[in-house]
Structures are given as structure tokens and as C-alpha cells.
Amino acid sequence: MRIAARNLVWGVRRRTIVSDVSLDVQEGETLGLIGPNGSGKSSLLRLLAGLRRPLSGRVEIGGQDIASVPRRTLARQVAFVQQSAATDTNVSVRDVVRLGRTPHRSALSGWSAEDETAVAAALDRVDMAGHRAQAWQTLSGGERQRVHIARALAQAPRVMFLDEPTNHLDIHHQIEILRMVRDLDLTSVVALHDLNLAAMFCDRIVVLRNGAVAASGTPEAVLTEALLRDIFRVEAEVGPSSRPGQPHIRFKAG
Ligand SMILES: Nc1ncnc2c1ncn2[C@@H]1O[C@H](COP(=O)(O)OP(=O)(O)OP(=O)(O)O)[C@@H](O)[C@H]1O
């Protein structure tokens, strides 16, 4: 499903946090959202996912204004992997992932074989099948993150929003998770801090600064030495990587 945002504005009191943002994500595309701390990435993701209403502007998903899509329909189509989402109650890993099936079940239908298959497949994809009976609170930070991703996968969404999904993950799982997101047959928007991972796995990148779009385009077009200096305040050398069109950034220590 396509995502289109037009002139999104959001803020609190007198502070504008998302400032006139427009963007398009094509069907099947992985869009990276990058920007310094506090630049508005999480706030924008929440607007795009329909979790928050903009003060002005609109979001369309699959050509439909998100404000007019019923909650339950939206929950079937859109998954959101939040930053450090907490689950307090005493539940197993499998229970957390099962929650992903909620939008697909009616009050009358019981737990189906299809639900069971979706949960098992999602746990498998994030390498957590062996932990299915473990209590969620006893998981490590990276394992929790992978279980939250499994819950989103079990939802079988058409669109996925991920807020720093590689937080807490070791390098193997950072790469595995982003490769999976890129290769899944769905449209995704991913907020990322690691610019080399953004270059490796995103089809296009949007750069935010102070809530506004400072640049957008392919990783090669966006991730220039000048932009890294200007937006991220770092000195770096940008060169080719082993893949054409995919830049590699080497940060200078000083
Ligand atoms: N509900 C709120 N009330 C007040 N300020 C808020 C609220 N939500 C976000 N902000 C502020 O808006 C700015 C953008 O926050 P946001 O979390 O969207 O940034 P971010 O780019 O995701 O940051 P980070 O990279 O640090 O995760 C921050 O300065 C934050 O303090």
C-alpha cells in the first residue's frame, strides 16, 4: 500500500514539532527516516501510522485518508514497532506475539490454525522460536525487541512503521532484521540512527531537521559529506561500498 503525507503539522502548546512534512512511500518500498535526536522522527511516525492526529495536513494509506479508516481496519493493515515498548504483565513470549493476531479475530471466532501458523512463522523469522515459552520480563533487551517485531509480523500488515528497530540488537540481528524488513512484501518506514544501515537497507531516505524535511532521495543522493556536516555535525568521508548506488560512510575521529 502506498503512503502519502501532505503538509503535516503537529506540535504541543506553542512548539511546532512536525513542520509541514510531505512525503510519499511507494508500494513495497522501504523508506528510512533519519535526523538528529529530537528532530521529530518518532512524532512523524506516529502521525503516519494514525496514532496521532495532525494539527493540519493529512495522511493517506492506500489512497484513503487515514482519519476516515475505521480503527479495526487500520489495525489489520498497519503495524507499529515502537521504541522500547513495555509489556508489564506476566506473559510468555508466545502470548506477546499472539497479540498481533487480535485485529484479525472476531468476538465469535476462536484461535485458528492460521493464527497459530502466523505466530510460529513470526517467531521463527526473528530467531526466537526457542524462547516461545519464556516469560517476557526475563528476556534481554535485544530479545524483547525481536519479540516486538515478531508481534508486528504476526499481524500480517500491509504497512509497517518501525521506530529504531535495531536498538539493543547485536550486529547480526541488526542486519537480519533490516534485511527482513526490506525483503518483506510490504511498505515500510523505518527511523534509524545508524546511517550506514540506512544506506544499506533503505530504497530512499528522508532527513529531518527541526521537524522539517531537510533532504530526501536515494541514499547516494542524500548521504553526502556536506549533509553529514550540516545536519549531523560530523566530519566524514563518503565513498562507494561494494554495492553500486550504496554509499559507505567513514566517520572521522577528530
Ligand atoms: N508530547 C510531547 N510533549 C512535548 N514535547 C514533545 C512531545 N513529543 C515530542 N516532543 C518533543 O519533540 C521533539 C521531537 O521528538 P521525537 O521523539 O519525535 O524526536 P526523534 O527524532 O524521534 O528523537 P530521537 O532521535 O532522540 O529518538 C523532541 O524535542 C521532544 O522532546
Q: How far apart are CA 67 and CA 74, in angstroms?
A: 10
More confident of the two residues 102 and 64: 64
Each residue's pLDDT tens digit, 109-140: 788 888 999 999 999 999 999 999 999 999 98
pLDDT tens-place string over residues 213-249: 999 999 999 999 999 999 999 999 999 888 888 899 9
163 or 184: which carries more pLDDT confidence? Answer: 163
Instruction: Name all domains of the chain by residue range, CATH numbers in brackets.
Output: 3-90+156-251 (3.40.50.300)
H-helix or E-strand spanning residue 146: helix 141-154
Ligand 1 site, residue 40, Cβ cutoff 6 A: yes
Is 12 near ligand 1, meaning CB less than 6 Å away? yes
- Cβ atoms within 10 Å of 57's Cβ, excluding its own: 16
State which ligand 1 atom lies nearest to the alpha carbon of 83: 27
The angle, 0 to 180 degrees and rounded to 10, between the axes of the packed helices 171-183 and 141-154 is: 10
Protein residue with least CA distance to atom 1, ligand 1: 12
Using CA positions, which residue lies closest to atom 25 of ligand 1? 37
pLDDT of residue 86: 65
Residue nearest ligand 1's atom 26 by CA: 37
Contact yes or no for 204/182 (Cβ under 8 A): no
CB 119 within 8 A of CB 147: no
Q: In the beta sheet, which residues pair with residue 208? A: 213
Does 226 contact ligand 1 (Cβ within 6 A)?
Answer: no
**The C-alpha cell that represents 35 in the structure block:** 535526523
